[in-house]
Structure 1
Amino acid sequence: MIDPFTLALILIVALTLMGASVGLAMIAGSFVYLIFKGFDPSIASETLLQGLFNNYTLLAIPLFILAADIMNIGSLADRLLRFAQALVGRFRGGLGHVNVVSSLIFSGMSGSAVADAVGMGKIIINLMTRDGKYSKSYAAAITAATATVGPIIPPSIPMVLYAIVSDQSVGFLFAAGMLPGLLMALMMGVMNYIMARRHDFPVDEVVPMRDLPGITWKALPALMLPVILLGGIYGGIMTPTEAAAVAAFYALLVSALFYRSVSFKDFYQALLGSARSTASVGVLVAGAITFNYVITRENLPVSISEFLGQYELSRFWFLIVINLLFLALGMVLEGGAILLIIVPILIPSVRAMGIDLVHFGVIVVVNAMIGLITPPYGLLLFITANITQQPVGRIIRDVWPFIIALLVALMVITFVPDFVLFLPRLLGYQG
């Protein structure tokens, strides 16, 4: 007779291939496991409810999603883009640099790669492809690549998910992502410069320096959002969940009252959109909580730790194996599934190797973000392909240089833990 755990895995894979969401597939697989093991299936419901209602941090996710949706319907993105263009648009391949800088700024507000690609991405792609300055495939590729910075620079929805499964501080995880996010942006800026020289991309319209104060002033209310957000968290005024609520309220306040760019209809559509996105994430979290009970019953984390212990891997080779594993998983799984399913299995092994869990969290999230632009799954590739109406294969061809740049950044992040943990330690982290 087939093992119940194996049967559950087969069912999850089969349902996923048939088009079901990963979350629903995991719930179905968990119920099948419990039934074939002779357990009361209501255990799954009890585990699910306890996991959802006992975790206050989960509330941050829908609030950050709502804040991003409100920013996308207002004129914040336009003003931030103009500010970025004034800063770096004067260099060769300037609009590519604008793409990097605008994503870096927007990432300090949304916490979502998809929100960055859909919101700011649409505007910058249209700007880059106007008059044929850049090919549509290159504009799509660099937009997909720069959107990966979104969940690394705080706030970050994937960091919140990692905090839930690893029992680490959201605030320290946010701090740990700041320097790696800047490094990723720098690497993509360097790669854009190399590509601009190779393909002779134009020098774009130069904004006079005398106009910079006025442009900065107009963008200042939007630029203040990450300052308020992070200042509140690290100043001890707000928890990350409360900061998410403040971010959503501030985005609405600035868009509706200061910029006067949001109608009631727009706000209603933002609420609907954020509700759909939250439901999608909620189902994934629910499925992961349920399936993690199955994983615990099977004692899988300990078994994996013992299996890896047989090979007596050094920390260096363990991290190499972990990166290769997550990069491979990123090609076929979405980041949320990796964080909620795979990470809990590996945490005992990570602890046994003496690897700091905050540092490990940044490694995992960066890998998951690279997965968003890696074929064949590459969600951001499909989003930008839809925006530009370009074949995904053509965008993949242009995105490879940026994947290489991000892999170089990943190696620094992986093997220089002091670089990642510098800011958290300044803020009192003892790891």
Structure 2
Amino acid sequence: MTDPFTLAMVLIAALALMGQSIGISMLVGSFVYLMLKGYDVSIAAETMMQGLFNGYTLLAVPLFILAADIMNIGSLADKLLRFAQALVGRFRGGLGHVNVVSSLIFSGMSGSAVADAVGMGKIVITMMTKDGKYTPSYAAAITAATAIVGPIIPPSIPMVLYALVSGQSVGFLFAAGILPGLLMALLMAVTNGVIAHRRGFPVDDGIPLRELPGATWQAIPALMLPVILLGGIYGGVMTPTEAAAVAAAYALVISVVLYRSVSARGLYQALLGSARSTASVGILIAGALAFNYVVTRENVPDSVAAMLSAMDLGPVGFLIAVNILFLVLGCVLEAGALLLIVVPILIPAAQALGIDLVHFGVVLVVNAMLGLITPPYGLLLFIVAAITKQPLIPIIKDLVPFIAILIVALMVITFCPDFVLYLPRLLGYQG
């Protein structure tokens, strides 16, 4: 007779390959496992309810999604884009640099790579391809690459998901993402500059320096959002979940009152879009909670930890193996599924090897974000291809230099834990 766990795994893989949601696939596989084992299937529902009830931090996810959607319907993106253009738009390949800087700023508000690509990215792509200054494939490639900085720089929805399964502090995870995110943005800006000179991209008509103060003044309300959020979290004024609520309320207030750019219909569409995105994430989390119960019953985490201990990899070898595993799985699995399914299996082994779990979280989130731009699944690839109406092949070719430099950044993040943990330790982290 086929082992119930093996059958559940095969069923999950088969449903996912047929195009079913990975969350629903995990729910179906978990129910089948429980039935074949003779357990009460209500255990799955109880596990999901307990996980969601105890996961107060999870409330941050729909609130950050709502904040990002409100920013996209308001004129926040336009104000931030003009500020970025005034700052770096005058250099060769300037709109590429604007793409990097605008993503870096927008990421401090939305926490979502998809929100960045759909909102800010769509505007920058239009600017880059206007008058044929940049090829559509290059505009799409750099937009996809820069968007992955969003979930590294706080706030970050993937960091919240990692905190859920690892039990680590969201605040310290947010702090640990700042320097790695800045490093990734810097390396992408350098890469864009090199490509711009090699391919003869134009020196764009940047906004004159005399207009920089005005552009900055217009952008200040939007630029203050990450300051308020991070200041509130690290000052002990609010929890990350409360900060997410503040982000959504602040985005709505400045969009409606200061910028006067949100209509009732636009707000309705934002609320509807946020509800749909939250439902999608919620199903994934529910499926992962049920499947994690199955994995725990089968002692998979302990078995993996024992296997890795027997291999005597050591911390460095383990981190190399995890990077390779995540880069491969990221080609076929969605980032949230990676963090919710694979991480609980790896945590015991990481702890046994003495690897700091906050540092480990940043490494895993960066890996998961790279999966958004690697074929064949890369979600951001499909988003930017739809925006530019370009085939995937030329976009992927233009993405190769950015993927290569981001892997270099990943290596620095992986093997320099003191670099990643510098800011958390300043804030009192004892790791």
Please confirm whether the aligned pair reaches a TM-score higher than 0.5, indicating the same fold: yes
Q: Which residue of 2 aligns with 1:149?
A: 149
Matches for 1:240-319 after TM superposition, within 5 Å: 240-319=240-319
Gaps of 5+ in 2: none
* Post-superposition offset of 1:315: 1.6
For residues 189 and 353 of structure 2, the distance between their equivalents in structure 1, rounded to whole angstroms, comes to: 34
For residues 118 and 368 of structure 1, the distance between their equivalents in structure 2, rounded to whole angstroms, comes to: 19
Q: Which residue of 2 aligns with 1:121?
A: 121
Pairing 1:22–2:17 present: no
Q: Which residue of 1 aligns with 2:419?
A: 419
Describe the SS at the equivalent of 1:26.
helix
For residues 102 and 43 of structure 1, the distance between their equivalents in structure 2, rounded to whole angstroms, comes to: 46
Q: Which residue of 1 aligns with 2:164?
A: 164
For residues 326 and 365 of structure 2, the distance between their equivalents in structure 1, rounded to whole angstroms, comes to: 10
Q: Which residue of 2 aligns with 1:13?
A: 13
Residues 133-174 of structure 1, C-alpha deviation per residue, up to 9 Å, x if partnerless?
Answer: 000000000000000000000000000000000000000000
For residues 204 and 336 of structure 1, the distance between their equivalents in structure 2, rounded to whole angstroms, comes to: 38
* Partner AA of 2:228 in structure 1: I
For residues 74 and 124 of structure 1, the distance between their equivalents in structure 2, rounded to whole angstroms, comes to: 16
For residues 39 and 351 of structure 1, the distance between their equivalents in structure 2, rounded to whole angstroms, comes to: 31
Pairing 1:209–2:183 present: no
* Post-superposition offset of 1:210: 1.5
- Provide TM-score, normalisation by structure 2: 1.00
Residues 14-44 of structure 1, C-alpha deviation per residue, up to 9 Å, x if partnerless?
Answer: 1111111000000100000000001111111
Describe the SS at the equivalent of 1:310.
helix
Describe the SS at the equivalent of 1:207.
coil
Q: Which residue of 2 aligns with 1:406?
A: 406
Matches for 1:57-76 after TM superposition, within 5 Å: 57-76=57-76
Pairing 1:336–2:315 present: no
Matches for 1:189-204 after TM superposition, within 5 Å: 189-204=189-204
Pairing 1:384–2:384 present: yes
For residues 315 and 295 of structure 2, the distance between their equivalents in structure 1, rounded to whole angstroms, comes to: 25
Describe the SS at the equivalent of 2:311.
coil
For residues 42 and 317 of structure 1, the distance between their equivalents in structure 2, rounded to whole angstroms, comes to: 41
Q: Percent identity over the alignment?
A: 75
For residues 311 and 359 of structure 1, the distance between their equivalents in structure 2, rounded to whole angstroms, comes to: 23
For residues 54 and 166 of structure 2, the distance between their equivalents in structure 1, rounded to whole angstroms, comes to: 15
Instruction: Please give the root-mean-square deviation of Cα atoms over the aligned residues, in Å.
Output: 0.5
* Partner AA of 1:325 in structure 2: L
* Partner AA of 2:158 in structure 1: P
* Partner AA of 2:385 in structure 1: A
Residues 184-232 of structure 1, C-alpha deviation per residue, up to 9 Å, x if partnerless?
Answer: 0001001101100110111111322211111100011000000011110
For residues 206 and 296 of structure 2, the distance between their equivalents in structure 1, rounded to whole angstroms, comes to: 59
* Post-superposition offset of 1:403: 0.1
Q: Which residue of 1 aligns with 2:105?
A: 105
For residues 345 and 310 of structure 2, the distance between their equivalents in structure 1, rounded to whole angstroms, comes to: 17
- Provide TM-score, normalisation by structure 1: 1.00
Q: Which residue of 2 aligns with 1:348?
A: 348
For residues 206 and 373 of structure 2, the distance between their equivalents in structure 1, rounded to whole angstroms, comes to: 31
Gaps of 5+ in 1: none
Q: Which runs of 4+ in 1 moved over 3 A?
A: none
For residues 209 and 140 of structure 2, the distance between their equivalents in structure 1, rounded to whole angstroms, comes to: 29
Pairing 1:93–2:93 present: yes
Residues 290-343 of structure 1, C-alpha deviation per residue, up to 9 Å, x if partnerless?
Answer: 000000000000000111111111221111111000000100000000000000
Q: Which residue of 1 aligns with 2:84?
A: 84
* Post-superposition offset of 1:54: 1.4
* Partner AA of 1:279 in structure 2: A
For residues 240 and 33 of structure 1, the distance between their equivalents in structure 2, rounded to whole angstroms, comes to: 36
Pairing 1:230–2:230 present: yes
* Post-superposition offset of 1:55: 1.1
For residues 419 and 292 of structure 1, the distance between their equivalents in structure 2, rounded to whole angstroms, comes to: 32
Q: Which residue of 1 aligns with 2:133?
A: 133
* Partner AA of 1:295 in structure 2: V
For residues 401 and 330 of structure 1, the distance between their equivalents in structure 2, rounded to whole angstroms, comes to: 18
For residues 320 and 191 of structure 2, the distance between their equivalents in structure 1, rounded to whole angstroms, comes to: 24
Q: Which residue of 1 aligns with 2:374?
A: 374
* Post-superposition offset of 1:351: 0.4
For residues 211 and 194 of structure 1, the distance between their equivalents in structure 2, rounded to whole angstroms, comes to: 28
